[in-house]
Amino acid sequence: MARTSLEVEELWERFHQVVNMTSQELTAWLGTEPGLSPPKPGGPAPPPLGRGVVEILGKRRTDVTNDDFNTMEKVIEIVENETDGLTKEDVVNDERRRHRLMNVGHDPLRER
């Protein structure tokens, strides 16, 4: 289904509200593991969704594909689900939750 220009604009804006890390910060982060230490050689590959976010951050709005829009919607949903009804302290104190959020470009320690 084709998106209207208003839907594209709203999705683009919402995505950039929840993704508060730069592409450089996210790229550096994706090289870490849940213990916040660098991965061992031959360790796990960065999550595909996180790589997709990095790619989107490097694009202009006019260059975003339907797959990118799907990624943007997933990221928004993840951030909302992981933070809904929780205080900032709750999110920050749950290292696994914080890691999941940061894997998609949302640093809960950063102010919006």
Q: Give the model confidence (pLDDT) of 23-60 as tens digits.
A: 999 998 987 555 545 555 666 667 889 999 999 999 99
In this prediction, residue 71 carries a pLDDT of 97
Measured CA to CA, the distance from residue 51 to residue 32 in angstroms comes to 13
For the range 78-87, what are the long-range contacts, defined as Cβ-Cβ under 8 Å and sequence gap of 24 or more? 78/49, 78/104, 79/18, 79/104, 79/106, 80/18, 83/108
Lowest mean pLDDT among 9-13, 40-44, 70-74: 40-44
The letter for the amino acid at 22 is T
Instruction: Please give the structure tokens belonging to residue 100.
Output: 């999941």
